């Protein structure tokens, strides 16, 4: 219990805002249908926003987490790099397993163009892999790990807002429903918490690469 309290004390602004948004999202999910919420969250579409979110959503791509992992290694933040990589892999596995288990339709699979004319050719996908949102899972795992490893409350807030916007981009682009994004956020956050706690417990330290080209861990 003390360990959990300590984790929440690391970045209280992060957790307060996260819990508030998740509670509000849960309230709407309980009151309205998935399609109704989807339409309400997509009332404004412009070419500028299309371009913005098409690029912004890439922050939830696995390439981003891998890139940050490599950058952290280069700046000698090996322990944090291992947390980022482990959280990405662990949360990604959970997300992919659930996608195949639930086999949930994406918005484009059940909403006709006459109902919603904003699907973007070449960007919006159809199919049955909507739940949970993989991009949201990835970005929230990354944001949580970074927030847990910083003492700057402003930075932790930036990480969280970035994750929120990335999650919303999945809805804006017609890729997911709100429930998919909320589930992805929860998986990402809890995966990051578990990784952060576990790696802190076993105290893995990245020792670099020795002269024989072998990775050293302590």
pLDDT of residue 1: 53
For residue 127, the domain's CATH number is 1.20.144
CA distance 41 to 34: 11
Q: Judge whether 217 lies within some domain.
A: no
Q: Judge whether 215 lies within some domain.
A: no
Contact 58, 64 (CB under 8 A): yes
Q: Judge whether 113 lies within some domain.
A: yes
Q: What is the pLDDT along the chain (218 residues), one digit of tens a residue?
A: 555 666 777 778 899 999 999 999 999 999 999 999 999 999 999 999 999 999 999 999 999 999 999 999 999 999 999 999 999 999 999 999 999 999 999 999 999 989 999 999 888 988 999 999 999 999 999 999 999 999 888 999 999 999 999 999 999 999 999 999 999 999 999 999 999 988 877 755 544 444 443 434 44
Among the listed residues 198, 90, 88, the one whose alpha carbon sits nearest the alpha carbon of residue 146: 88
Number of domains in the chain: 1
CA distance 13 to 18: 8
Q: Judge whether 61 lies within some domain.
A: yes
CA distance 153 to 121: 39
Longest Cα–Cα distance in the chain = 63
CA 176 to chain CA centroid, nearest Å? 13
Contact 82, 218 (CB under 8 A): no
pLDDT of residue 4: 62
Query: What are the contacts of 197-200 at 24+ separation with CB within 8 A?
Result: 197/3, 197/7, 199/79, 199/82, 199/83, 199/86
Q: Judge whether 216 lies within some domain.
A: no
pLDDT of residue 218: 45
pTM confidence score: 0.91
Contact 127, 180 (CB under 8 A): no
At residue 207, φ and ψ (nearest 5 deg) are -105, 5
Q: Could you tell me the residue range of the domain that residue 126 belongs to?
A: 2-209
Q: Judge whether 218 lies within some domain.
A: no
Q: Judge whether 197 lies within some domain.
A: yes
Q: Judge whether 115 lies within some domain.
A: yes
């Amino acid at each position: 219990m003390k360990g959990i309290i300590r984790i929440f004390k690391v970045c209280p602004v992060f957790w307060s805002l996260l819990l508030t948004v998740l509670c509000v999202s849960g309230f709407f999910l309980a009151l309205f249908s998935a399609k109704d919420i989807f339409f309400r969250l997509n009332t404004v579409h412009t070419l500028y926003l299309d371009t913005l979110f098409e690029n912004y959503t890439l922050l939830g791509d696995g390439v981003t987490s891998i890139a940050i992992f490599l950058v952290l290694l280069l700046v000698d933040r090996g322990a944090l790099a291992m947390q980022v990589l482990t959280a990405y892999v662990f949360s990604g596995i959970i997300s992919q397993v659930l996608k195949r288990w639930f086999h949930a339709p994406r918005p484009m699979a059940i909403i006709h163009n006459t109902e919603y004319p904003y699907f973007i050719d070449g960007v919006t996908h159809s199919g049955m892999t909507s739940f949970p949102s993989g991009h949201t899972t990835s970005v929230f795992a990354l944001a949580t790990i970074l927030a847990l490893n910083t003492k700057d409350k402003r930075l932790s807030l930036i990480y969280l807002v970035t994750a929120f916007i990335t999650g919303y981009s999945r809805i804006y682009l017609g890729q997911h429903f709100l429930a998919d994004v909320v589930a992805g956020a929860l998986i990402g956050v809890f995966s990051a918490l578990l990784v952060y706690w576990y790696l802190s417990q076993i105290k893995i330290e990245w020792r670099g690469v020795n002269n024989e080209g072998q990775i050293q861990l302590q």
